[in-house]
Structure 1
Amino acid sequence: MRLPLAALALLAAAPALAATEAAGSLDGITIIDRLDVNDIAAGSVQRFWFRAGMSPVGQPWLIPVIVVKGAQPGPRLVLTAGIHGDELNGIAVLHRLGATIDPAKLAGTVTMVPGLNPPGLLQSTRQWTPDWSRSAPNLNRELPGKEGGSAIADFAGRLWSRLIRPNADSAVDLHTQSRGTAYMMYAFASTPRTRHMAELVAPDIIKMDKGDKGTVENTLTDDGVPAITLELGRPEMFDDTMIARAESGLTNLMREMKMLPGKLTPPPASLTIANDIIAARASKPGWMRLLLPLGSPVKKDQPIAEVRDAFGGLVETVTAPAAGRINMITTDPRVAAGDTIARIVWWSPDPACANGC
């Protein structure tokens, strides 16, 4: 593949671009093997395909990248979405921000990656599914990966070492709940700084959470880059309300970081801060109907759902195992014994739980 003439001229004129490795082009968009945002011209918007390794049929996995480089120097913010292939709202958020952030008014650089998991997105699966594997891995448990390792380790390693980590001073990873479930607008944080970042984005609930090994959020935070996970409702759809809220919240975060001008919006008075969570589960199979909407406050032992048999007879009333607020619900009425019906968050006074139990 050949670089477009404009890209070749730019490379020849600017030796500093050596850190960003160009590898060709597709429909006029440069394909890169590595990104260094220091190479991007100030006051510009650039779009790339990032090559994150090869598929089992010998073709590259190409990931879209949008870089908005401000006219003035400042922090480097990385925004990612679509690491789970059925979680789509974040992709639309990044499309909007890529089209609306004015580089002339921006201080610093925003790197946006709207689609980290191409094989999962193709099959609308939570997992990384480049083949027919019955035990496909979760890409959001594989960072920082290892270049030259297994297929998933190499893919994750390239994302980490060539794209995400070298260009991040702060980060937000955008998700939704997975198939058959729904969240409120819900953020995970694990430190005082990331809690403040989450408050600025203005979700309904913030869960202080130590998190899982290998996620974008925790791998970055553990490496000294404050990062949060932002959950945006339901899977496999574009929800305009959630998308607009996230766009507004991320803009507010950029204002606090002195990247964009404008007045800060304080967190909503209705914001719930939690540090513990528990699942309400069905003990019997059948057809489930929720009795309370997503976001409801609940008391311990309050009925939250009914399970009925094939003829409509009541077989179980599911109750809240603790007092708190419903942050997640099952949207599929078909449930098996042991299935989660809802999750409830609350604040534990235990000092050990300050940053998540």
Structure 2
Amino acid sequence: MRARFAAFAACAMLSAQPVFAATESAGSLDGVTIIDRLDVNDLAAGAVQRFWFRAGMSPVGQPWLVPVVVVKGGQPGPRLLLTAGIHGDELNGIAVLHRLAAGIDPAKLAGTVTLVPGLNPPGLLQSNRQWTPDWSRSAPNLNRELPGKEGGTAIADFAGRQWSRLIRPNADSAVDLHTQSRGTAYMMYAFASTPRTRRMAELVAPDIIKMDKGERGTVENTLTDDGVPAITLELGRPEMFDDTMIARAEAGLINLMREMKMLPGNVTAPPASLTVANDIVAARARQPGWARLLLPIGSAVKKDQPIAEVRDAFGRLLETVAAPADGRINMITTDPRVAAGDTIARIVWWSPDPACQNGC
């Protein structure tokens, strides 16, 4: 009797533990399996597999399908999650993941790389930063909605399915790839928030690392807060494939995988030119008009140094926009049409305040 009771108690304790189900197949499309849940632990080692992940249903009753590539090494090791396209006008990261999916040899890989080149199908279809499944004039930002909630509103359910069935169960570390959005451009620029994520960012070798407490609901911060070190990697301009930026990001992610002992090869040290910052300020136009930058992106600037001019419809000078702080220009407007209060450039620098060590 005691043995039976002990067995029952043990079963009850086990059933109380959260358990992720194995990969769940839900059909196929053009020979690619459609899944409702991914667990890379139950996939065959030494292989590349492709899936459509069903992230929810559109307003016309058809599924939103998210592409997933899993490269599972012949040897056990870490699980690295790489995502792109959570903003539908930010495309460079998609090409980076395509190149990695084609270039990583599973026979040489220890661990698993899960690549998701297109988290936001409706936004990608509309070439829109936001999540745009319908005509809504107030479309939400999917990268502020994690971890979401399955069975909630449409956006909460979409985010919740991705978080609980795709993202969180398959990540020991993660990199979320972005660019700036329409009308603007970044350097190759990484966000980090902890000592480990700063190290990850250094290995990827961007031009600038911004230590940043981040925003609630992002891939990066939601994972990091849940114990999975993650960074955001920004790759220049939107709405294009920039081959130079794509190649740099691919090389940087391979370098990260080498440091994680996932791939063979020597780890490259961060470039001497790397800028690490923990604070940021915007230089803004006070008047509407036509803006022309006086300095290129990446320039080092001193406080009150002229960085742009704004002219009226006749070309007459309205104002000179000055740098609000010493630092380096990490973002610029690429659209010369500006309204009063619009950002012309952003400048990053290092604050000595101890409270800002991991971001002000």
Query: Shorter-chain TM-score category?
Result: over 0.9
Q: C-alpha displacement at 1:196, in angstroms?
A: 0.1
1:230 aligns with 2:233: yes
Match of 2:107 among 95, 99, 104: 104
1:69 aligns with 2:75: no
1:137 aligns with 2:158: no
Match of 1:214 among 188, 213, 217: 217
Deviations 1:96-142 (A, max 9, x none): 00000000000000000000000000000000000011100000000
Aligned partner of 1:172 in structure 2 is 175
SS of residue in 1 equivalent to 2:251: helix
Q: For 1:48, give the aligned amino acid.
A: F
1:136 and 1:53 map into 2 onto residues whose CA distance is: 17
Q: C-alpha displacement at 1:40, in angstroms?
A: 1.0
Aligned partner of 1:326 in structure 2 is 329
Q: C-alpha displacement at 1:39, in angstroms?
A: 1.3
Show structure 1 runs of 4+ deviating over 2 A.
Answer: none
Aligned partner of 1:91 in structure 2 is 94
1:53 aligns with 2:56: yes
Q: C-alpha displacement at 1:18, in angstroms?
A: 6.5
Q: For 1:51, give the aligned amino acid.
A: R
Aligned partner of 1:22 in structure 2 is 25
After TM superposition, the structure 1 = structure 2 runs for residues 103-122 of structure 1, keeping only pairs within 5 Å, are: 103-122=106-125
Aligned partner of 1:186 in structure 2 is 189
Q: For 1:102, give the aligned amino acid.
A: D
Q: For 1:207, give the aligned amino acid.
A: K
Deviations 1:299-357 (A, max 9, x none): 00000000000000000000000000000000000000000000000000000000000
2:62 and 2:131 map into 1 onto residues whose CA distance is: 16
Q: C-alpha displacement at 1:293, in angstroms?
A: 0.1
SS of residue in 1 equivalent to 2:143: helix
Match of 2:149 among 146, 149, 161: 146
1:135 and 1:231 map into 2 onto residues whose CA distance is: 25
SS of residue in 1 equivalent to 2:291: strand
Aligned partner of 2:3 in structure 1 is none
Aligned partner of 2:199 in structure 1 is 196
1:198 and 1:69 map into 2 onto residues whose CA distance is: 23
Q: For 2:41, give the aligned amino acid.
A: N
1:56 and 1:26 map into 2 onto residues whose CA distance is: 20
Aligned partner of 2:297 in structure 1 is 294
2:237 and 2:135 map into 1 onto residues whose CA distance is: 26
Q: For 1:58, give the aligned amino acid.
A: G
1:284 and 1:268 map into 2 onto residues whose CA distance is: 39
Match of 2:46 among 35, 39, 43: 43
Q: C-alpha displacement at 1:24, in angstroms?
A: 0.3
Deviations 1:35-79 (A, max 9, x none): 000111100000000000100000000000000000000000000
SS of residue in 1 equivalent to 2:98: helix
Q: Contact conserved, 2:21 with 2:37, CA < 8 A, in 1?
A: no
What 5-or-longer segments of structure 1 have no aligned partner? Answer: 1-16
Match of 1:353 among 348, 356, 360: 356
Q: Contact conserved, 2:294 with 2:309, CA < 8 A, in 1?
A: yes
Q: For 1:175, give the aligned amino acid.
A: H
2:359 and 2:136 map into 1 onto residues whose CA distance is: 34
SS of residue in 2 equivalent to 1:182: strand
Q: Contact conserved, 2:197 with 2:231, CA < 8 A, in 1?
A: yes
2:190 and 2:223 map into 1 onto residues whose CA distance is: 16
1:338 and 1:276 map into 2 onto residues whose CA distance is: 20
Aligned partner of 1:11 in structure 2 is none
Aligned partner of 1:158 in structure 2 is 161
Q: For 1:133, give the aligned amino acid.
A: S
| TM-score of the pair, normalised by structure 1 | 0.95
SS of residue in 2 equivalent to 1:33: strand
After TM superposition, the structure 1 = structure 2 runs for residues 233-248 of structure 1, keeping only pairs within 5 Å, are: 233-248=236-251
Match of 1:125 among 124, 128, 133: 128
Q: For 1:89, give the aligned amino acid.
A: N
Aligned partner of 1:344 in structure 2 is 347
SS of residue in 2 equivalent to 1:230: strand
SS of residue in 2 equivalent to 1:97: helix
2:313 and 2:55 map into 1 onto residues whose CA distance is: 48
| TM-score of the pair, normalised by structure 2 | 0.94
CA RMSD of aligned residues (A): 0.8
Deviations 1:185-215 (A, max 9, x none): 0000000000000000000000000000000
1:355 and 1:251 map into 2 onto residues whose CA distance is: 25
2:108 and 2:295 map into 1 onto residues whose CA distance is: 44
In percent, how many aligned pairs have the same letter? 90
